[in-house]
Amino acid sequence: MLMSTQATRLAHALLKARMTGTMMPLLSGDGKFSLDDAHEIARHIVTIRTAQGENPVGRKIGFSNHKLWNVYGKGSLTEPIWSTIYDSTVHYALDNVATYNLTKSQQPRLEPQLVFKLARTPAPEATLEDMSDCLEWIAHGFEVVTSPFRHWEFEAADAVAAFGLHKALIVGEPRMISRQSRRSLPQVLGSASMSLSRSAAGSSSLCAAGFGSDVQGSPLQALLVLHQQLQARDDASPLQAGEIISTGSWTNALPIKRGEIWSSAFSQLNLGGLTVSFT
């Protein structure tokens, strides 16, 4: 386990790399860096960012799409990860249209996903149905993810320490969840699909398609997995009412750059897509 001084030093190094948009060596380069070390650094980062005036508003779930485990993490990804998100990193898209500035973003990529807001705190032993009953609203989101590690190559512990690779979450228009729809919500979300398109230099192309079933079977199931993971760790804060949760990408993380406009559309789900221009 890292000493507190080591964790603090690495936390500041990660924050500096984020602020300046620069690369840094893998934390796991010596082969001794563990997930517990990464979570210790993550706790220090929350303390530092909160002291600097950022307010935690929820969590992001990373790598809940099991199809991506062999793409990233050098084989060390065997379950989803999570990280804190802040009022400074969550942006709401009016009428599902937004602009985001990529200045000093380290190798930025885009992940389309669903976002939940909790109206109630889940019970420690909550079931999938209980998690559905705890929701206030659902929305579509684009997460901008970045990596300070070259070529997007890292271990799971590196990703946990580096903010869960979270840079920003762009949230579309929320849709309130009716009492009638809660019972079937896991199945509805699991059967939905979405498409992702990019426009640049006057041309447009379909870049990816994704399925809710790839996200732990359903994004609601991903939320339950997060709840259970947090319950299992003495050093993690449990989910609370009012938190915003991004549930994980429906597609591979796709490289983005300035001048591009990305748009999404759903099928079998009554939820508007997003259009985001990157500058």
Q: Which two tokens stand for residue 65?
A: 């799409």
The predicted pLDDT at position 258 comes to 97
For 212-223, what is the mean pLDDT?
97
Sign of the CA dihedral with 169 first, then 108, 206, and 193 last:
negative
Residue 46 DSSP SS3: helix
Give the residue from 91, 140, 136, 161 showing the smallest Cα distance to 250: 140
In this structure, are residues 113 and 141 in contact, taking their beta carbons and an 8 Å threshold? yes
The 10 Å CB-count burial string (b at 16+, else e) for 213-244 is bbbbbbbbbbbbbbbeebeeeeebeebeeebb
Computed over every residue of the chain, the mean pLDDT equals 96
Structural domains in the chain, sorted by start: 56-278 (3.90.850.10)
Does the pLDDT at position 243 exceed 90?
A: yes
The predicted pLDDT at position 180 comes to 84
pLDDT band at residue 110, thresholds of 50, 70 and 90?
A: very high
For 169-176, what is the mean pLDDT?
97
pLDDT band at residue 179, thresholds of 50, 70 and 90?
A: confident
Task: Classify strands 109-118 and 135-145 as parallel, antiparallel or unpaired.
Answer: antiparallel
Does the pLDDT at position 111 exceed 80?
A: yes
Percent of the chain with pLDDT strictly greater than 70: 100
The predicted pLDDT at position 202 comes to 83
The predicted pLDDT at position 183 comes to 87
Does the pLDDT at position 52 exceed 90?
A: yes
pTM, 2 dp: 0.96
pLDDT band at residue 1, thresholds of 50, 70 and 90?
A: confident
